[in-house]
């Protein structure tokens, strides 16, 4: 039965239950296993270190604002009064 999962990254949950140990060993680095139910992806087994790496990369992306450097001369810091006015105008109802 072990050979059934060789090079397979998509596994029905029903088959994964009895082979979880085998599948867990397959998730190394960027290798992961997608678990399906009724043919639809439901979950994934992922190497924990790789998951943490992905989380850290996402955090880095969300802490940066990307702007075309040629547009920098056209930017300015808005006053708190301006921001409060816009927030008031944007309220629905």
Instruction: Say what the pLDDT of residue 93 is.
Output: 52
CA 16 to chain centre: 23
Please report, for the domain that includes residue 32, its CATH number. 3.40.1620.10
pLDDT digits (tens, 9 = 90+) for 2-32: 444 444 589 999 999 999 999 999 899 989 9
Taking residues 44-67, report their average pLDDT: 86
Instruction: Say what the pLDDT of residue 40 is.
Output: 94
Range of the domain at 40: 2-90
pLDDT digits (tens, 9 = 90+) for 36-52: 999 999 999 999 999 99
Burial group, residue 22, by CB count within 10 angstroms (0-12, 13-18, 19+): middle
Instruction: Say what the pLDDT of residue 5 is.
Output: 46
- Total domains, the chain: 1
pLDDT above 80: residue 90: yes
Highest mean pLDDT among 38-47, 54-63, 72-81: 38-47
Of residues 27 and 72, more confidence is placed in 27
């Amino acid at each position: 039965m072990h050979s059934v999962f060789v090079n397979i990254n998509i596994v029905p949950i029903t088959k994964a239950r009895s082979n979880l140990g085998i599948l867990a060993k397959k998730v190394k680095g960027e290798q992961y296993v997608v678990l399906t139910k009724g043919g639809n992806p439901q979950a994934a087994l992922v190497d924990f270190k790789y998951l943490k790496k992905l989380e850290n990369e996402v955090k880095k992306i969300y802490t940066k604002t990307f702007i075309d450097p040629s547009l920098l001369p056209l930017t300015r810091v808005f006053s708190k009064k301006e921001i409060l006015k816009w927030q008031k105008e944007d309220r629905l109802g």
